[in-house]
Structure 1
């Protein structure tokens, strides 16, 4: 066998071996996860879920809970990582616009001499003996600089798109931050209400069980009529069922709060006893609210960035259809000793164009126009959804305030009834059982009151959520210490939340303090109570109230109650605003019916309703010049 045939045999055997190895590599069978691998993954995840968390050292305030949620909440941490990833990808994309500089070096070898002969074209005879101009072993080096105008333009638009993708990630992070704040607001106040009433509920439920036993025993012994005993037992069981349901609803909030803060299961923590922040008034300038929402909502801003990305994509596609201009400079080295010059530089300019692609320009432009229309339609649909959310959130807040006022008044009434029942308890079985029933109702009213306050806080937070307002510090991600982060959040919430809300809804009626004067010919204590109710209602609606006889406008509220007629009385409030110069800016009247003997709670509710009803008139009077008269 000749040397050439041997080489061919070796080459054939090599190809066969390569094909066998390739086919073996393509025949990989599916391999499901083993149970120990799953256990290992679960154990690792459980360690990472609660890793590097600062221990809870005391009762948690709202700011503390929010700080833990923003620092350890996994959803928010994911958005932070996605934002950082988008920023990194944008930094990488900027380098694609740079020219290319390719450097290479290598070594080549062959087992025999290269070379050849030359054959004449006309004579078809060999004109040279076999010769070689290349060494068997040689080294190569190359440094190539190239720049393409088309590649630069495409990379430029890709970099712009990458920058907008980073901004989209930031808007999504903002949205998650706002959602965390909203969810925390809902869970925290419910959990705090459950914590405040937990010990009372446990004690009362034990007493209820004893009372049910006594009632059944009294029924058996004939101390109570069967109908009365059964009605009492039914009332107690109904109240207990409602109490357990309300208690569970509030206590579930503590588990939700723990999940928001990513606290390990089983960790015991308590919430700080802090006063309930006053709830602001209902916004009335819906046009301004809608404008703010359309400007600030993260989803709409994301759509704006998506529109820019679509526009840049259209430009990039059109640019890719244009002719390309390329510049190449190539510095080369070859150690071949037969070369006259072992080192040389190649350079050139090249213009190229795919003429068939030019036919795609109309189709590309049409697709871009369709994409733009689709983006606009999607943004308009989202804008309509945002406006609907704003209006619904305001209506829910309005209803939540009414429910909270009713629940608060009901709780006060039931508390007084429980006090009267305890004060008038006797040794009779039915008297003692009535006290238990009354106290159960009073505690249920307290649960309902705390639940109504938490619902009002939730509705208040929904307005923020629907507007897309940022009330948290910009550097919230920079604080590494929980205590420092909590202080930042506390300062931001106490300083900016109400101010941002007031500015957003245009509810600052006047920077000049407003004095309030109430005139009532009845009980002086009732008059003082109603004055305080009116002042609190004005504060909730963001009015600045005067202290210590400060000069300025004065709101005068006069209550007139008619004589009893058909078991009721007609009540009328005369509400007017007197300017600092003594002129009257406006007068209005608010009427309603009262019982024959109205108590203080009824008068306070009547006063609050009149004050809230006259808020729009009061704002108009503070801005108007001539006297205005209105009545209701």
Structure 2
């Protein structure tokens, strides 16, 4: 009967854990309704005119991708806390209760005679309750828990950098969508009246053709021009709707309604002062979140290698426990116990060595990957900077074209009554073309601002803060000054070495000259002593030769010592 209930229980757990397609379809429908209600319930201000800071603030607050990264960061923080708590020692409390159906007695037998040596006896009761409290600290587990906490802290920083990069990418996307909406909204507002003029122009051209005021070919040519302009102007409406959908989805609202933005930023350029490209590259290498992430990944790998080294050590376990037993046959029913246990698995050592080598190679791989990423970041910054300069030139060109069209349009309007060759149709066409150049100018200005934000994104910063720029410039100058001082110190040291070398060489030349002169004196002296008596001449010559030999030995020792000093200076120069 017990086996039957056990089988039914296990089967129930098994079948209730299985899910079919219908279950997931129903679950998807339920979640779809819930999510749709959550999105629609967000109240969107209908009459508000948004500017760029408002859109960025709302997007950073409501965007669901940012919320996902925020949850990842909170998860990593919880895991960090769990890793820190993993360093606590073990504290186990056990209560063992055992009962037998008969007496736990035993007898003994003699090994020599094979007969029973003692009468049957017992040392344990039929029912025994034992309580044990054990406090243990494993040095290996403590070390692994410490390294796990270090890695968990790195992962918290890693998730924070991922959140920062996601926010930067969101800022760039919102800025791009905002300027799209601003440019298309400006274009729609500019072309609403002009599209009505196109309809009127068609009617006027038909009347002029029927009245034979203009030729049919000219009328057809003018209609083609107006229809082409009308097509290009009508495309801005659809583009405006698409841009509004994109911007509202990034802001976390239901992408169904039109959003109005402030277009004053497209009326006049706000020139942005950008530092030198070398300074921008240095800022990017110090601020780009991807480089921080690779540094943290490398440190996590290094800590993992240290864990592998720790696993090569024996496990030392310190323990203290207290035991209380209800067995009345025990001499002491309560006692303390303390000890040390050591264990070492020797056959795991080769595996740990290979694992450490692999992790060491992996750390080198991440280091090379970091250098590759740094090169890519520098290239991205240069491309973004060049794009910004190019877009600025494009804006200047579009502005010159718009100013020329606008100037000619004003002249045509003023002189339309005086010059008979300027017709109202031509003025209307000139107005449409001027409006088109104004839209191109506004698009170029929006692209200029967007290029600035793209440059900030490539650098890994949110804004060109003056304090940060000044601090970076100060650091760069300090590094340059330090490098210049190092170069000057090496040059002065080199000059001193050269001077000492020249001095030693001059001394060496003087000593050689002295030795040469002494040797010449040695050859001349016997000729000058021919007039002396034979015995005196031999004694003086022998003494002179000894003195000259000692002087030559002293000079040779000095030469050797000076040569050693020259070699030391050369080695010191080579090492520097």
User: Structure 1 length normalisation: TM-score?
Assistant: 0.67
Q: Is 1:318 matched up with 2:332?
A: no
Aligned residues, how many? Answer: 467
Q: Which has the higher contact order (CA 8 A, sep 6+)?
A: 2
The equivalent residue for 2:235 is 245
Alpha-carbon distance change, 425 to 39 in structure 1, aligned in 2, over 3 angstroms: farther
Residue 397 of structure 1: CA displacement?
Answer: 0.5
Q: Is 1:60 matched up with 2:31?
A: no
SS of the residue corresponding to residue 346 of structure 1 reads strand
The equivalent residue for 2:74 is 84
Alignment of 1:152-551 (within 5 A): 152-272=142-262, 274-275=264-265, 278-281=270-273, 283=275, 285-425=276-416, 431-471=423-463, 497=465
SS of the residue corresponding to residue 66 of structure 2 reads helix
Counterpart selection for 2:6 from 12, 18, 36: 18
The equivalent residue for 1:98 is 88
The equivalent residue for 1:522 is none
1:200-251 Cα offsets, whole Å, 9 max, x none, are: 3222112212323432454355332122112111111222222233454455
- Of 202-211 and 153-162, the range deviating more from structure 2: 202-211
Q: Distance between the aligned counterparts of 2:47 and 2:341, measured in 1?
A: 71
Is contact 1:66–1:181 with CA below 8 Å preserved after alignment? Answer: yes
Residue 295 of structure 1: CA displacement?
Answer: 1.4
Structure 1 residue runs without a partner (length 5+): 1-12, 472-495, 507-632
Is contact 1:147–1:327 with CA below 8 Å preserved after alignment? Answer: yes
CA RMSD of aligned residues (A): 3.0
Q: Distance between the aligned counterparts of 1:429 and 1:119, measured in 2?
A: 137
Residue 312 of structure 1: CA displacement?
Answer: 0.3
Q: Distance between the aligned counterparts of 2:201 and 2:469, measured in 1?
A: 50
Structure 2 residue runs without a partner (length 5+): 475-576
Higher helix share: 2
Residue 24 of structure 1: CA displacement?
Answer: 6.2
Q: Is 1:40 matched up with 2:30?
A: yes
Q: Distance between the aligned counterparts of 1:373 and 1:454, measured in 2?
A: 44
Q: Distance between the aligned counterparts of 2:44 and 2:225, measured in 1?
A: 48
The equivalent residue for 2:549 is none
Residue 125 of structure 1: CA displacement?
Answer: 5.0
Residue 274 of structure 1: CA displacement?
Answer: 4.2
Alpha-carbon distance change, 221 to 282 in structure 1, aligned in 2, over 3 angstroms: farther
Q: Distance between the aligned counterparts of 1:367 and 1:58, measured in 2?
A: 59
Residue 421 of structure 1: CA displacement?
Answer: 3.8
Is contact 2:288–2:461 with CA below 8 Å preserved after alignment? Answer: yes
Is contact 1:105–1:141 with CA below 8 Å preserved after alignment? Answer: yes
User: Structure 2 length normalisation: TM-score?
Assistant: 0.73
Alpha-carbon distance change, 159 to 23 in structure 1, aligned in 2, over 3 angstroms: same
Alpha-carbon distance change, 357 to 395 in structure 1, aligned in 2, over 3 angstroms: same
1:418-456 Cα offsets, whole Å, 9 max, x none, are: 333444456999823222211111111121111111111
Q: Distance between the aligned counterparts of 1:400 and 1:503, measured in 2?
A: 29
1:445-495 Cα offsets, whole Å, 9 max, x none, are: 121111111111111111111111243xxxxxxxxxxxxxxxxxxxxxxxx
